[in-house]
Amino acid sequence: MLKKVLFTFLFVGILAFVLPTNLSAQPYGYEGTQVCGMCHKTEKAGQQLKIWQESKHAQAYKTLLTPEADKIAAEKGFKTKAVETKECLKCHATGYDVDKSLIGTKFKVEDGVQCESCHGAGSAYKAMAVMKSREESIKKGMTFHEDKTKYCVGCHNPESPTYKEFKFEEMWKKIEHKVPKG
């Protein structure tokens, strides 16, 4: 009995210690490419929306709807269709497994690997005043890695049933979306 009480105290103590960091990491919602694209579509901004729309990432969810995908899923031993299989969705989609309260009205799971798959859920950093500062955006949930390959290898790795060796330079060129200088 005493042991149990002590254990509970210890547990609550650890929770109190751990929770604040979890809470600050958790509450951001997904907005969707259309929301990001409102500001990131002009030539001056760098046409990130168009570059993404023309990339394979925009098709990643739709790929799971193909017979080829269902065949791969079956070969892997899954009993569900590829598009209903979490083990496929985790690299081919975003926001399919979060609470509905965190999904913005314009968000579309069909957009596959989208802006927020790489840059983080944007409900708090999408405001102009925040976006203008990298530091503030990061504080409000924007993902920023100094090493660009870090964005990629979470999905481009041998866990992918169709994995091809990932050559960063070559692949980055296909999806690069810079803000033009000047």
Half-sphere exposure of 134 (CA within 13 A, CB side): 4
Instruction: Report the Cα–Cα distance between both ends of the chain, in Å, rounded.
Output: 70
CB under 6 A: which stretch of 1-9, 10-18, 19-27, 113-121 binds ligand HEC? 113-121
Q: Max alpha carbon distance in the chain (Å)? A: 70
Angle at 145 between CA 164 and CA 48, to 5 degrees: 75
CB atoms within 10 A of CB 52: 23
Binding residues for ligand HEC restricted to 138-157, rule: CB under 6 A = 145, 148, 151-152, 154-157
* Number of amino acids touching ligand HEC (CB under 6 A): 65
Four-point Cα dihedral 140, 180, 59, 69, nearest 10? -80
Closest CB to ligand HEC among residues 99, 146? 146
CB under 6 A: which stretch of 6-14, 15-23, 41-49, 95-103 binds ligand HEC? 41-49
Per CB under 6 A, 130 contacts ligand HEC: no
Per CB under 6 A, 48 contacts ligand HEC: yes
- Residue 69 near residue 82 (C-beta atoms within 8 A): yes
Say which residues have a Cβ less than 8 Å from residue 165's Cβ, sequence separation at least 6. Answer: none
CB under 6 A: which stretch of 1-9, 12-20, 21-29, 59-67 binds ligand HEC? 59-67
Which residue of 7, 9, 11, 172 would you call a contact of ligand HEC, by CB under 6 A?
A: 172
Which residue of 28, 29, 31, 95 would you call a contact of ligand HEC, by CB under 6 A?
A: 31
- Residue 175 near residue 50 (C-beta atoms within 8 A): no
CA 90 to chain centre: 9
Which residue of 57, 109, 124, 140 would you call a contact of ligand HEC, by CB under 6 A?
A: 57
- Two tokens at 41? 């579509």
Write down the residue that tokens 């081919």 correspond to.
92
Per CB under 6 A, 83 contacts ligand HEC: no
Q: Binding residues for ligand HEC, per CB under 6 A?
A: 31, 33, 35-40, 45, 48-49, 52, 56-57, 59-60, 63, 68-69, 72-73, 76, 78, 82, 85, 87-88, 90-92, 113-119, 122, 126, 128, 131-132, 134, 137, 145, 148, 151-152, 154-157, 159-164, 171-172, 174-175, 177-179
